Chain A
Amino acid sequence: MSALEITQLIGIASLLIGSLAVIFGALGLLRLGDVYQRMHGAGIVDTGGAGLILFGLLMLSPDWTVTVRLILIGFILVMTGPTATHAIARAVRVSDQEPDNVSETKTKKRGRG
Chain B
Amino acid sequence: MQDDPVIRVVSKVMIPTVMLFALYVQFHGDYGPGGGFQAGVIFASAFVLNAMIFGLNRGRHVWPANLNLLAICAGVLLYGLTGIASLFLGANYLDYDVLGATAKSGQHIGILLVEFGVGLTVASVMVALFFTFAGRLTHIRLMSKMQAHEEASPPASKTKTKAKKAGGRS
Say how far A6's CB is from chain B's closest CB, in angstroms.
32
List A residues 57-113 near B (Cβ within 8 Å): 76, 79-80, 83, 86-87, 90
Residues of B with C-beta under 8 A to A83: 6-7, 10
A-B contact count (CB 8 A): 19
Say how far A61's CB is from chain B's closest CB, in angstroms.
17
Residues of A with C-beta under 8 A to B14: 76, 79-80
Chain B, interface residues (CB within 8 Å), range = under 10
B7 touches A87 (CB 8 A): yes
Q: Across the interface, name the chain A residue whose C-beta is closest to B6.
A: A86
A80 touches B10 (CB 8 A): yes
* B140 interface residue per 8 A CB criterion: no
Q: Across the interface, name the chain B residue whose C-beta is closest to A90.
A: B4
* B156 interface residue per 8 A CB criterion: no
Chain A, interface residues (CB within 8 Å), range = under 10
B4 touches A76 (CB 8 A): no
Residues of A with C-beta under 8 A to B7: 83, 86-87, 90
* B17 interface residue per 8 A CB criterion: yes
List B residues 14-30 near A (Cβ within 8 Å): 14, 17
* B13 interface residue per 8 A CB criterion: yes
Assembled-state Cα–Cα distance A80/B18 (Å): 12
Residues of B with C-beta under 8 A to A79: 10, 13-14
* B137 interface residue per 8 A CB criterion: no
Indicate the member of A80, A86, A87, A90 with the most B CB atoms within 10 Å: A87
Assembled-state Cα–Cα distance A70/B21 (Å): 14
Residues of A with C-beta under 8 A to B17: 76
Residues of A within 8 A of B (CB): 76, 79-80, 83, 86-87, 90
Residues of B within 8 A of A (CB): 1, 4, 6-7, 10, 13-14, 17
7 sample A-B contacts, Cβ–Cβ < 8 Å, listed by A number: A83-B7, A83-B10, A86-B6, A86-B7, A87-B4, A90-B4, A90-B7
